[in-house]
Structure 1
Amino acid sequence: MKRQYYIFNNGMLQRKDNTLLFADAAGNKRPLPVENVEAIYAMGELNFNSKLFVFLAQQKIPVHIFNYYGYYSGSYYPKEYLNSGHLLVWQVRHYTSKAKRLTIAKKIVDAAAHNILANLKYYANRGRELQEPIDTIEHLRSAVEEQKDVPALMGIEGNIRQRYYEMFPEIIKQDIEFTERTRRPPNNMINAMISFANSMVYTAALTEIFHTQLNPLISFLHEPGDRRYSLSLDLAEIFKPLFADRLIFTMLNKNQITKNDFVTELKCCYLRDKGRKTFVRGFDERLSKTIKHKKLKRNISYRRIVRLECYKLVKHILGEEEYEGFKTWW
């Protein structure tokens, strides 16, 4: 079974005959059986060459690159191997049609709101004072269907997220300083952790899109633009509460990650290597977990759920089945 490989050490990743070989700065070598590699996460400073990228393209392996501070820098996205001109035409039509685009965007925001509420209700049932934000977010969610355009819908989504983030100190047991969401750069440990976790969800979504006929540049909630795969942002909205936020809550509440795992420099906060490794290990374990799918009646991994979300979008775009965003039932 294929899996993700996370490389934290500095060194050289290269092709060796018909497989991959990583050599660290001390000269230690480790083979990566190419038949087992789904995607590579370059968390350290790695050297590559064109021979490697040709091989990765042949093997259909994307590479996600993170900088020294652990922030996502970009992805090597091999040439699509499941091209469909027919689907591409219809995907573009669903973006250019205001009504069609808004329909999908509403489903994404509604599913994201549902999953956010599931998190809040989970902790409310465990003694946290969360009923007021739950009521507020449910009210905002009820207004999703009334929105007439995507910018207004994004406003609703932003308000939901803001009220949700305001409740993080109530959910997290550690003594933390967190009053608002800041991104560029994150200014405290919670913002740093959210940014890192969200980038992991984004890249997981991008990897799954690659294995479908969808074009990652054409999105519906987020505006397509230069230098980003905006469809990954759309899918990430649905899954961030489940894959990122739940893991943040668990790790902080169990003291698996603490203030000692962060560095603050010039109003910029980021995870140390140890903290990143701990989170990545937990993230990979979580997405490898399986659950019995309500519709398929069989066990599938959390990661596979993201792929299925792509297939649901394909069916909607082709007019085969109306799209409904993924809503957690556990």
Structure 2
Amino acid sequence: MPCLASLKHPVKCYGILLEDCSWWCGVLVAVSTPGARVGKRGRRIVIRANGEEREVPVDRIDALLVTTNVTVSYGAVKLLSEALVPVFYARGWRPMAVLMPFVGHGSVLVRREQIRAYMDWRGEHLAKAFAWAATENKAALLLALAKSRGGEVAEGLREAAFRIRELGSRIRSEEGAPDSLRARLMGLEGEAASIYYSTLALVLPEELGFKGRTRRPPRDVVNAALSLGYSLLNLRVSIALAVCGLEPYAGFLHSDRSGKPSLTLDLAEEFRQPIVDRAVITLAVRRQLTPEDYDSGLLSEKAKKLLLQALQERLTTETKAGKRKSSYEQEVFRQARRLARFLLGKDREYKPFTYRW
């Protein structure tokens, strides 16, 4: 099965399957209507919901995403499997399960090396790479925000970026056994995150009430938008990892815990700032997010729609990666592929994604 980063065709969303999938590259068919039925007709996948019907040629589908109570027929699963199309299940846009075509499981070699790597030099290399990228991208965004501001705000942003980069330097010099190293790296990255989020308050409207990162539940509209954005990004990253033959639940930086997609969280660290944070900050600064868009940890429908549109814009924005330009959505899949190549010994090192504003 090819990695989706290599696909060139545009996003396709099919009527009842909707706006929520509009920010994916390739052809992702997302079914989010309760009671919908997915079947087949010849070489086409047929989706029926609310009296409507849509047909999609199976050869044009890269993945099927189910986000609610939907019936997928045996015939549809058989056709999708023969076409090497994975089926993803999510709850509230959080990854829950993936059905991979059995005939495409040549990826066992990648997963075997992924598990082995945790205990050798590759595990240390990857843990440090993910942690360093997380700090570097936070510092880069703060410096970018400082360029368009002056006075004490700009100085505060630059000072925070400097402190975060100092922590990044410490991350690169850390060594040790896998578990103890992971704990120290997470501690340094957590310290950098605390500095970063508290500093973001300098550029956000005071009426939004943002003082720093809060979760479970988020305590203001900005945190609610960040949480939803990170969940959508995690789903995106999980798809990239699974399609490239990697196990989303076996990471190198984040701790292993039942039901926790550790590798998804690892790779997502490289893209939180350029994709999600930039989108949320833009909405907040333009006052398109308001205190009224927040209720008991949740965003209003209006705010959700604005956020999805902003994420789509960020994902299709071109960025310079090495000597070439590509969109952020393409870079997510390229990084998953680079990770697989590194684990298989095809590349001598793994270079995390970092960006320059």
| TM-score interval, smaller chain | 0.7 to 0.9
Matched ranges for 1:1-330 at <5 A: 1=9, 2-5=26-29, 9-17=33-41, 18-25=43-50, 27-40=51-64, 42=66, 45-51=68-74, 52-59=76-83, 60-67=85-92, 72=94, 74-79=96-101, 81=104, 83-97=106-120, 99-127=121-149, 128=153, 129-148=156-175, 149-173=181-205, 175-264=207-296, 269-295=297-323, 297=324, 299-319=325-345, 320-330=347-357
CA distance in 2, matches of 1:281, 1:31: 25
SS at match of 1:15: strand
In the aligned structure 1, how far is the partner of 2:226 from the partner of 2:303?
13
Deviates more, 1:28-37 or 1:110-119: 28-37
Task: Write out per-residue CA displacement over residues 47-103 of structure 1, whole angstroms, 9 at most, x where no aligned residue.
Answer: 223435555444413334233xxx626243424625244333322221123x43122
**Separation of aligned partners in 2, 1:254 and 1:32:** 38
Contact 2:39–2:73, Cα closer than 8 Å, also in 1: no
In 2, the alpha carbon distance for the partners of 1:228 and 1:56 equals 27
Q: Distance in 2 between matches of 1:198 and 1:126?
A: 26
Measured against aligned partners, the alpha-carbon deviations of 1:273-292 in whole angstroms (never above 9, x if no partner) come to 33222222322332233345
Give the alignment's TM-score, normalised by structure 2: 0.79
Of stretches 284-293 and 303-312 in structure 1, the one that deviates more from structure 2 is: 284-293
Q: Shift of the alpha carbon at 1:29?
A: 3.7
CA distance in structure 2 between the aligned counterparts of 1:22 and 1:274, rounded to whole angstroms? 27
Deviations 1:172-218 (A, max 9, x none): 23621123422222232122111111111111111111221323232
Whether contact under 8 Å (1:38, 1:61) holds in the other structure is yes
Contact (CA 8 Å) 2:45, 2:58: kept in 1 or not? yes
State the identity %.
Answer: 25
> How many pairs were matched up?
318
Whether the aligned pair in 2 keeps the contact of 1:13 and 1:20 (CA below 8 Å) is no
CA contact (8 A) 2:139 2:162 kept: no
Instruction: Give the secondary-structure state (helix, strand or coil) at the position aligned to 1:96.
Output: coil
CA shift in 2, pair 1:167/1:6, >3 Å: farther
CA distance in 1, matches of 2:66, 2:301: 13
Classify 1:73/1:100 alpha carbon distance in 2 versus 1 (closer, same or farther; 3 Å): closer
Q: Which runs of 5+ in 1 are unaligned?
A: none
Offset at residue 31 of structure 1 (A): 4.1
How big is each residue's C-alpha offset from its partner over 1:136-184, in whole Å with a ceiling of 9 and x where there is no partner?
2122112112323110110001111111111222122362112342222
Deviation at 1:42, TM superposition (A): 4.9
Other-structure match for 2:21: none
Which residue type is aligned with residue 349 of structure 2?
E
Distance change in 2, residues 1:139/1:249 (3 Å): same
Separation in 1, partners of 2:224, 2:211: 13
Runs of at least 5 residues in structure 2 that lack an aligned partner in the other structure: 1-8, 10-25, 176-180
**Which stretch shows the higher mean deviation, 11-20 or 132-141?**
11-20
- Partner Cα separation in structure 1 for residue 258 and residue 219 of structure 2: 26
C-alpha distance in 2, partners of 1:154/1:272? 33
Alignment RMSD: 2.6
**What is the one-letter code of the residue matched to 1:278?**
L
